[in-house]
Amino acid sequence: MPDTADILRLENLQVHFPVRGGLFDRVLGRPAGPVRAVDGIDLTVGRGEIVALVGESGSGKTTVGRVITKLAQPTGGRLLFEGRDMTSVQGFSALRPYRHRVQMIFQDAYQALNPRHTVFEIVAEPLRSLQLVDNGKQLALRVSEALASSGLNPPGDFFARFPHELSGGQRQRVVIAGALAVKPELIVADEPVSMLDVSIRAQILQVLLDLRDKHSLALMFITHDLPLAWLIADRIAVMYLGRVVEIGTADEITFNPRHPYTVALRNATPHIRGEADRAELPSLQGEVPSAARVPKGCRFHPRCPLAFDRCKEEQPPAIEVGPQHLSACWLEK
C-alpha cells in the first residue's frame, strides 16, 4: 500500500505552446493560441502509490507525463520531486540523478525498442549512460534482475534476441525491464497496455502491481480507459482540456463519479454503467475541442448537457465532495 509521503508534487503546472493563427483564423478575425495543453494542474503521487491520469485524447495527460519525465518543459507552475524543485533543472549532467529515479514506459514497444539492438543491449543502455555499474559482471546481473522482474524468465534466454523475435507482450516486458534496470522510484507509464491483447494486458498489469508491492515503486498510469484505471490505481485523476476536473480514490471515481464528464466517461463503458446512469446523462458526443481555443468558463460546457449560464462565464474551482474526492463543477456549489 502507498506510503503517505509524497514523492511527486505538481503545483499549478502549465504547458502552453505558442501558435501562429492559420488563414481561417485571420479571415475570421479569431485570436490564435496559445495551445493550453496543460493549464494549472495540482497533483501528488505518494511513495508506492499508483495514480491513474484518465482522459480522452487531447486532454493533456501525455504532456503531464512528458513534463514529469523531463521530456517537456513546463511554462508555469512547479514540479517537485521529494520536495526538491526540479522545474527548471535541465541538461544531461544536472538531470542524471533525476533520470535514475524517474523513468517512463511508452505505449508503443515497437517504436521504443531499437530493432538493431539485442534485448541485453537495450536493457543495459540506461545503466551504461547513467554510469550505474562498474564492470561487465554488475551489468549482466542488473540486466538479469530487470528481465526477471518483468517476467522474462529465464533472463539469459532473452539476452541475444532481437525485438522482432519477441511477441508483443514480451516486447512490452523488455520496455518495462529497461525502465526498471536503473531501480527507479517513480515510473510514468503512458498507455502501457493499450496495444496488447486482453490476456497479455492482465499479465503486464500484474507485473506493475508486483513491482509496487515489492519495491514501493510509485506509478503514474496514463490511460483513456476508466475500467483499466480502476483495476490498477489507488487514486484516479480525470483530465479534460488541460485540467483535472475530478480526483478521488479509484472506487469513488469509478462507482460514485460526481463530475458530469466523469459520469459520461463511465457511461461510455458498458460493463460498469448502470441503468440509472444511462438515464442520468447521455454518452459523450464529439471530441475534446482544440486546446488553442479553450472555452471561457467551464471547459466542458459546450459538451455538457447540464450546463447553465454560470458555466459559460466562470471556471468552477475544485470542490470537496467527499473524503479525498474533489470535483470542479458548479453543480456542487
Per CB under 6 A, residues contacting ligand SF4 are 259-260, 298, 300-301, 304, 306-307, 311, 316, 329-331
Cβ of residue 313: shortest distance to ligand SF4, in angstroms?
10
Q: Among residues 81 and 300, whose Cβ is nearest to ligand SF4?
A: 300
Residue type, 177: A
> 298 with 329: CB under 8 angstroms?
yes
**Residue 272, class by beta-carbon neighbours within 10 Å (0-12 exposed, 13-18 middle, 19+ buried)?**
middle
> 188 with 65: CB under 8 angstroms?
yes
C-alpha cell at 40: 494549472
Cβ of residue 12: shortest distance to ligand SF4, in angstroms?
20
Q: Among residues 231 and 307, whose Cβ is nearest to ligand SF4?
A: 307
Cβ of residue 284: shortest distance to ligand SF4, in angstroms?
12
Give the integer Cα–Cα distance in Å for 102 and 89: 14
Give the integer Cα–Cα distance in Å for 292 and 253: 28
> 51 with 219: CB under 8 angstroms?
yes
Cβ of residue 299: shortest distance to ligand SF4, in angstroms?
8
Q: Give me the residue label for grid cell 503514474.
A: 220
Q: Among residues 120 and 240, whose Cβ is nearest to ligand SF4?
A: 240
Cβ of residue 304: shortest distance to ligand SF4, in angstroms?
3
C-alpha cell at 26: 485571420
Cβ of residue 132: shortest distance to ligand SF4, in angstroms?
47
Q: Among residues 60 and 316, whose Cβ is nearest to ligand SF4?
A: 316
Nearest to 180 by CA among 221, 146, 129: 146
Q: Among residues 37 and 304, whose Cβ is nearest to ligand SF4?
A: 304
Cis peptide leading into residue 34 (ω within 30°): yes
Q: Among residues 89 and 307, whose Cβ is nearest to ligand SF4?
A: 307
Q: Give me the residue label for grid cell 517512463.
A: 104
Q: Among residues 61 and 243, whose Cβ is nearest to ligand SF4?
A: 243
Q: Among residues 197 and 309, whose Cβ is nearest to ligand SF4?
A: 309
Give the integer Cα–Cα distance in Å for 299 and 315: 8
Cβ of residue 302: shortest distance to ligand SF4, in angstroms?
8
The one-character DSSP state at 284 is: P
Cβ of residue 316: shortest distance to ligand SF4, in angstroms?
5
**Residue 126, class by beta-carbon neighbours within 10 Å (0-12 exposed, 13-18 middle, 19+ buried)?**
buried
Give the integer Cα–Cα distance in Å for 166 and 318: 46
Give the integer Cα–Cα distance in Å for 163 and 108: 12
